[in-house]
């Protein structure tokens, strides 16, 4: 159950959940109030086996979009399924849903949900992950 404050957070997306990408699903579209360009600090990997990006901890700027949605309690469960998120700190999560600091295009820092790859996967399959030099899924050419 989300606290009131957590239910007001936007969602930072950086890959297949972005507008126009293959996992931009109806529930996102139906509940999207507005979006803007944004970025987070991290590293962006290409997960060859699954053909999508993976955000990890790091110091570089990773570009994406900040989605402001209504009905977050209805939007997060299908996103959790797509991202393989089971529960906080669950060892079998493919991605962990975290609250990160996100920088908007205007320079404002906001808290937002983001799906971050479970580091265990990179350790288990190091040959399946490669750094994306552009740190931007929209400009990446796998």
Provide the percentage of residues in the chain whose pLDDT is more than 70: 94
Q: What is the average pLDDT across 24-37?
A: 93
Cα 54 from Cα 50, distance rounded (Å):
10
pLDDT at 8: 84
Residues whose CB is less than 8 angstroms from the CB of residue 34 and which lie 6 or more positions away in sequence, other chains included: 68
- Reported as a single tens digit per residue, the pLDDT across 35-62 is 999 999 999 999 999 899 999 999 999 9
pTM: 0.92
The yes-or-no verdict on residue 68 having pLDDT over 90 is: yes
Which conformational region is residue 84 in: left (phi greater than 0), alpha (psi within -120 to 50 degrees), or beta? left
Provide the percentage of residues in the chain whose pLDDT is more than 90: 81
Which range has the worst mean pLDDT, 26-30, 39-43, 64-68, 114-118? 26-30
Cα 95 from Cα 113, distance rounded (Å):
12
Q: What is the DSSP letter of 26?
A: H
At 15 the three-state DSSP class reads: coil
Residues whose CB is less than 8 angstroms from the CB of residue 140 and which lie 6 or more positions away in sequence, other chains included: 46, 53, 132, 134
Cα 39 from Cα 14, distance rounded (Å):
8
pLDDT at 6: 65
Tokens of 24: 């931009």
Class of domain 6-134: alpha beta
Helix (H) or strand (E) run with residue 45 in it: strand 32-47
């Amino acid at each position: 159950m989300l606290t009131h404050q957590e239910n007001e957070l936007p969602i930072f997306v950086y890959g297949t959940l972005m507008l126009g990408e293959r996992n931009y699903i109806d529930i996102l579209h139906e509940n999207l109030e507005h979006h803007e360009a944004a970025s987070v600090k991290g590293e962006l990997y290409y997960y060859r086996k699954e053909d999508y990006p993976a955000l990890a901890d790091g110091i570089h700027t990773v570009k994406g979009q900040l989605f402001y949605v209504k009905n977050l309690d209805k939007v997060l469960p299908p996103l959790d399924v797509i991202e393989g998120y089971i529960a906080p700190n669950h060892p079998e999560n493919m991605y962990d849903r975290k609250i990160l600091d996100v920088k908007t295009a205007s320079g404002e820092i906001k808290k937002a949900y983001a799906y971050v790859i479970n580091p265990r996967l990179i350790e288990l399959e190091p040959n399946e992950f490669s750094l994306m030099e552009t740190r931007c899924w929209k400009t990446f050419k796998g």
